[in-house]
Chain A
Amino acid sequence: MDFPFVREAVSKLFSKPSCNMYPFVPSEAAPHYRGRIVFHPETCINCNMCERVCAGGAITHTEEKVEEGLRVTRSFDLGSCTFCNTCADFCTRHSIELTTDYHMLGVEEGDLIVSGTFLKAAPKKPAPKPAPAEGGAAPAAAAPAIQPRGDGKPAQDPNKCVYCTLCAKKCPSEALTVDRKEKTWVLDEDKCVGCGTCRDVCPKDAIVL
């Protein structure tokens, strides 16, 4: 009788097991694995875009008024996160990062909460200067490229603007009011956080920061 598998069986008996010996041998996640969220509060500008795009409603923030401005605490509940990376994709300041750390265990309440606190300075009263021309009244020949305002907030070039209202729709703080019929573009400076989303979405590059 022929037993072709006996040699294989005996050799496997003395060989190492083929499984991952995980708890004894540490295991690294794949390079682009989306695990524990790391929040960098120092770069956050509180535009709340992450909260708007979060499908699981895992991101919350609390605001506390202090003398210097607003103390904002943003928390990420890993227990209701889908690790879809949408918040990090939409964050214009790259304050949210999904690391390859997959060790996320919760025994007590708060074990799965990642949070960060930062101070958002109160908006400074801008120095009086001529407001950017509204409407299409500016002379076309005498208007070169529009100058940035210098305070990190958007300025509109009325020659390029087609009043498509995309910037107003995308503005996370609803600081822009654009009327397509009246051809007006109005910025609420107190609401604006200077995130640059309006500039990024503008199809005509009519907005500079």
Chain B
Amino acid sequence: MFKKLIAESAAKSPWLFHINAGSCNGCDIELVAVLTPRYDVERLGFKLSGSPRQADIVVVTGPVTKQSLNRVLRTIDQVPEPRCIVTMGSCPQSGNVFKDSYSVCAPLSKYVHVDVDIAGCAPKPEAIIDGLALATQILKEKRGQK
């Protein structure tokens, strides 16, 4: 009974973990803007988590530089299944203007399965809220909930 209650509550409050994989800080600031009182994504249950081991949704920003690639993959491996990986901005999806650089390993989808891509450079906070809502839906489906 408690397990069911906990599962239902957890589905309503996915915790975010944010990885900066060499981002220019544009997307990071937009993600922080989503957490501020102006957009207040916490009213929808999202919470920024300090540890990957407690996270449900991983938000990756930045073009996944050579330096950060191993660390990103190690961090994502620590996130328990079922998890949802969201890429934010153009960089982790394709490399953007850094594409074909010797130090950039984008796209991230070469290494892990990416569930949602939020396009934009940087995406508008409303678009991030849309993307996170979609990620929550995907997370529910992965858990077998309705």
Contact = CB atoms under 8 A, between A and B. Distances in A.
Interface of A: 17-20, 22-23, 27, 29, 33, 35, 55-58, 77-83, 102-107, 111-112
Given A22-B129, A77-B94, A112-B93, A104 B116 contact: no
B91 to A, nearest CB: 9
Contact of A19 (B38, B93, B94, B130): B38
Nearest to A111: B117
B99 A80 contact: yes
A79 B119 contact: yes
Contacts, number: 89
Interface of B: 37-40, 43-44, 90, 93-97, 99, 115-121, 123-127, 129-131, 133-134, 138
8 contacts: A19-B40, A20-B38, A22-B39, A29-B124, A80-B93, A81-B90, A107-B134, A111-B117
A110 to B, nearest CB: 11
Contact of A79 (B90, B124, B127): B90
B123 A104 contact: yes
Contact of B126 (A18, A27, A112): A27
Nearest to B36: A19
A80 B63 CA distance: 11
A104 B97 contact: no
Contact of B127 (A80, A82, A103, A107): A103
A111 B87 CA distance: 14
Contacts of A35: 120, 124
A102 B116 contact: no
A166 to B, nearest CB: 27
